[in-house]
Amino acid sequence: MFKKLVWISCLVPLMALTAHAQTKVLRIVVPYPPGGSPDSTARVIGEKIQQGGKYSVVVDNRPGAGGTVAVDTVKNAPPDGLTLLLADSSTYSIAPNVRRKSTFDPLKDLKPVSLASTSPIFLIAKPETATSVKELVDYLKRNPDAPYGSSGYGTAHHLAMELFKQSSGLKMTHVPYKGASQTAPAVASGEVIATFAGLTLANAFAQGGKVKILAIAEPKRSALAPNIPTIAESGLPGYSIVITLGFLANAKTPDAIVKELNEEIAKAVNSPDVKTKLNGLGVEPASSTPQKFGEQIAAELKSFGSITKAANIQEE
């Protein structure tokens, strides 16, 4: 009996060690500092993946150089699927168009794994200026070169307003801020007449009556704000800006590993608790196949490229 107990007592730690050895460390590299929507999304999805037991997940924030620092981290990592990039359109679709000396091709240096979410942005203005897209257009006709705010030069919010200008045929003056959190306050204070903002930020000021949410930039209404019309249906047909967020791996990662990761991500993104948490961040969960995500990136590179070329937006 004593020998049997000794054998069992030895077996338990061995089983624990074996289970630990089977748990792989998955590093999710985010090209932004902690606290923002991409970082929060990475942590919500990462926590759910970790609960599955196959992976121990670590979020690695690598901001800088328009996402290039994070991209290089994944490019130079072993192609074993254990280092993933979770980035948005600004990194894989806008930066290659805007940065003259971009050092990566998102479809050659990286391999799409899965879409994670879309981040709808909304056109907001001070209520005294406009309560609809039509009123904003009329205001701009009377006040050419009026200032608008963005989260920074060459960002999705900047390009969204440039497309608004191109679609309406009107002129505005760009005032770039250091991040999206500064733009809605600038509208509320009257520093600028309009900007694009995420739903959480827009709602924070709209509920106090300091700004008016005029329309959503995406081609269809959002389930998060179904009463807000699209810009396209508000008088500028064809207008569409979709900001996506997705996982990408080293370009040499085997397809079998990508398939396994895709399945893990899909399970996490489509779970009810993750959906609820992502909705609370103002984003909409949206998993996809690797192929569909790759097609989405290709389409974005083309559409954002057209906007930047027409507006001559380019930085060193």
Last residue of a domain, one of 200, 234, 268: 234
Question: Within this chain, do residues 277 and 295 fall inside the same structural domain, yes or no?
Answer: yes
Q: How far apart are CA 196 and CA 189, in angstroms?
A: 15
Q: In whole angstroms, what separates CA 129 from the centre of its chain?
A: 29
CATH number for the domain harbouring residue 203: 3.40.190.10
| 10-residue averages of pLDDT along the chain (316 residues) | 45 47 88 90 97 96 89 96 97 90 86 97 96 97 96 93 96 93 95 96 95 97 96 97 97 98 98 97 96 97 96 84
Does residue 225 lie within any of the structural domains? Answer: yes
Residues 157 and 168 in one domain: yes
Closest residue by Cα to residue 28 from 16, 8, 45:
45
Domain range enclosing 167: 121-234
Same domain flag for 257 and 112 = yes
Residues 297, 154, single domain; the answer is no
pLDDT score, position 9 = 47
Strands 172-176 and 244-250: unpaired
Residue 6 lies in a domain: yes
pLDDT score at 15: 46
Residue 316 belongs to some domain of the structure: no
Please tell me what DSSP assigns to residue 34. T
In the sheet that 172-176 helps form, which strands lie side by side, from edge to edge?
172-176, 146-150, 194-198, 121-125, 212-216
pLDDT of residue 104: 86
Q: Which amino acid is at 239?
A: Y
Last residue of a domain, one of 189, 215, 234: 234
**How high is the pLDDT of residue 5?**
43
- Evaluated on CA atoms 140, 143, 145, 151, the torsion sign reads negative
pLDDT at 103: 72
Considering the domain architecture, whether residues 100 and 147 belong to the same structural domain is answered as: no
Residue partners of 92: CB distance under 8 A and separation at least 6: 67, 106, 110, 246, 248, 297, 300
Count structural domains, the chain.
2
Quote the pLDDT of residue 2. 42
Q: pTM score > 0.75 for this model?
A: yes
My answer on whether 18 and 106 are in the same domain is: yes
Last residue of a domain, one of 194, 211, 234: 234
Strand arrangement of the beta sheet that strand 284-285 belongs to: 55-61, 24-30, 83-88, 244-250, 110-118, 284-285
What pLDDT, on the 0 to 100 scale, is given for residue 21?
Answer: 52
What b-and-e string marks burial along 230-248, b requiring 16 or more CB atoms within 10 Å of the CB?
bbbebbbeebbbbbbbbbb
> Does 36 lie in the same domain as 16?
yes
Quick one: pLDDT at residue 67? 87
Does residue 198 share a domain with residue 51? no
How many CB atoms sit inside 10 A of residue 25's CB? 10
